[in-house]
Amino acid sequence: MSLRDILLWPDDRLKTPCAEVTELDAVKDLVTDMFETMYTAPGRGLAAPQVGVLSRVFVMDAGWKDGDMTPLALINPEIVEVSETTAKGPEGCLSIPGVTAEVRRPTCVKMSFTDLAGARQERVFEGAEAVIAQHEYDHLEGIVHFDRLSPEAGKALKLQYQMQR
C-alpha cells in the first residue's frame, strides 16, 4: 500500500471523463492505495481521477469517522435511479481543500457497480452515503462540486479557493 498524491483543482484531469475499467486486476492495487489515501487525507470518498488515474473507480466510507468502518469500492458505477426528493447541504472535496459548497442533490440514489471480486452489485444509498456516492460519481464524469452551483455561486467559490492558495 502507498499513499498517492491528491490532485488539486483546476488540474485538467479533474475535468476529464474517465474510461471504463476493462481489467479488474489492474485496479486492485489502485483501490488499496485509494483507501489508504482517503483515510489519511482524511476524507469519506475518493475517486480515481483525484489521484491522477482516469478510470471509473471510486472508494467511500461514510461512517469511519464515527467509528463504523464500512469501506466500499465501486468499479464502473452507473446511476440506475435517483429520488425526486432533493436536499441542499455542504460538500467538501479533497481536491478543493478549504472550500465548502452548498450543493442540491437527490436524497436517495440507486447505483450498480462491479465489486473487487468481479461481481455486479446494485445498492441504494441514502443520506450521507447518497451525497458521497453522487459526489464521487461526478468526479468520474469530470465534474466537481463547483459545477453543480449557479454560475454566480460557482465563480465566487472558485475565487475564494484561488485567494486562499
Residues classed as catalytic: 136
CB-CB contact of 59 with 34 (8 Å): yes
What nine digits make up the cell of 47?
A: 475517486
Residue count (the chain)? 165
Q: How many CB atoms lie within 10 A of CB 141?
A: 15
> Which residues are CB-contacts of 138 (< 8 A; sequence separation ≥ 6)?
144, 145, 147, 148
